[in-house]
Copies of this chain bind each other. A is one copy, B any other.
Amino acid sequence: MSSEFKAGALSVNIFGESHGPAIGVVIDGLPAGEELDINRITEFMARRAPKKDGTSTRRSEPDVPEILSGVLDGKIIEGSPLCAVIKNTDQHSVDYKSISHLARPGHSDYTGYVRYNKSNDLSGGGHFSGRLTAPLCFAGAVAEQILNHIGIFTGAHIFKIKDICDTPFDPIKITAEQLEQVKSRYLPLNDVSKDEEMRSLILDCAGNLDSVGGIVEYCAIGLPAGFGDPMFDGMENRISQAVFGVPAVKGIEFGAGFASAGMYGSENNDEFCIEDNEVRTRTNNHGGILGGISSGMPLILRAAIKPTPSISRPQKTVDYTTMTEQELIIKGRHDPCIVPRAVPCIEAAANIALLSYFC
């Protein structure tokens, strides 16, 4: 089931199209009795909302989730799936209809057309749309609260946009306060001095009718040692299955990741030590996962986000119904850089994967 993330006793089932009446999510397997703070859910989702300063699409919807089931008196009911629905209110499907037979480069128009026997709902991406990350963020926000209750704190930041780098999370000493702080910032950065530089890069892209990619870094602390498994259902397997569910992700790495490929074993191995009567490591190239199982150290991952494929410049492409080469100019509203809005989405996906170990 492509729209369902299922691991352990947890399932997260996302439905809806960007231009249908509503989108939403059904979450099954949540632990009972947990209190849900709706304000915190709304805040999480607001971090995904477009900015008003020109760095984001001008499509704008309040995205207020309505909970239809699974919650009673503010608490999760065990055994009854939680369904939340978000109405679509700002649909301009006419923007998209005119280009529906031209494959937008970098988009799934053509691949979806072949996959779904020409019956695909092409208006604005349909079920492929980035808009489906709104219910993903709802689920990720629910997951965050439950993880918090068991002492796990999570967060993410813009690791880099093009060549502008934020300070990475400290893989040994990162604190819950620091993770929380990033969430409150206009751009989710550790080093706020990079804010302006990044914003002007994005605005330049918008001005050039272009877009730009970047990397998101995610961290979870407080995750106890001993969760996960070797082989096909290790932590990396399960998390990457969730994170590649966010559109535009083209790569994922854990701990030192691709950098470890250029290291000697004597550099890359993290020596174990005892601190406060706990087993820890002095460095954290393993990113908190050894043999598919959590080590108790901070879990660190990075996801590569490709540049928004929708750009307003003329592009060469094909009409896949007439099999002719054409020029395409994409109209409509789009983000010159989705990296800032991808931060809560990556957080949501990884949170959901982690939550599955506690359901």
Which residues does A use to contact B, with CB under 8 Å?
1-6, 9, 11, 13-17, 20-24, 26, 28-29, 32-33, 66-70, 72, 75-83, 85, 103, 105-108, 110-112, 114-117, 119-121, 126-128, 132, 160, 162-163, 205, 210-215, 225-234, 236-238, 240-242, 244-245, 247, 249-258, 260-274, 277, 279, 281-282, 285-287, 289-295, 304-311, 313, 315-318, 320, 323-325
B325 touches A2 (CB 8 A): no
Q: Which residues of B are found within 8 Å of A305, using beta-carbon distances?
A: 261
A214 touches B261 (CB 8 A): yes
Cα distance, A238 to B241, chains bound together (Å): 7
Q: Which residues of B are found within 8 Å of A241, using beta-carbon distances?
A: 232, 237-238, 240-241
28 interchain pairs (CB within 8 A)? A1-B233, A3-B230, A4-B232, A16-B80, A17-B77, A22-B68, A32-B120, A78-B115, A79-B127, A107-B291, A108-B292, A110-B272, A110-B290, A111-B225, A210-B264, A210-B265, A212-B264, A213-B265, A215-B261, A237-B241, A250-B260, A251-B257, A251-B258, A258-B258, A269-B315, A272-B316, A274-B318, A274-B323
Shortest beta-carbon distance from A7 to chain B in Å: 10
Indicate whether A306 sits within 8 Å of B268 (C-beta atoms), given known contacts A15-B81, A213-B262, A261-B160.
yes
Closest A-B pairs by Cβ, 6 of them: A108-B291, A251-B253, A2-B229, A114-B226, A211-B265, A80-B127
Copies of this protein, total: 4
Cα distance, A110 to B290, chains bound together (Å): 9
Q: Which residues of B are found within 8 Å of A228, using beta-carbon distances?
A: 111, 115
Which residue of chain B lies nearest to A253 when distances are taken between CB atoms in the complex? B251
B254 touches A250 (CB 8 A): yes
Q: Which residues of B are found within 8 Å of A245, using beta-carbon distances?
A: 231-232, 234, 237
Which residue of chain B lies nearest to A318 when distances are taken between CB atoms in the complex? B272
Shortest beta-carbon distance from A178 to chain B in Å: 23
A263 touches B213 (CB 8 A): yes
Q: Which residues of B are found within 8 Å of A309, using beta-carbon distances?
A: 265, 268-269
B20 touches A72 (CB 8 A): yes
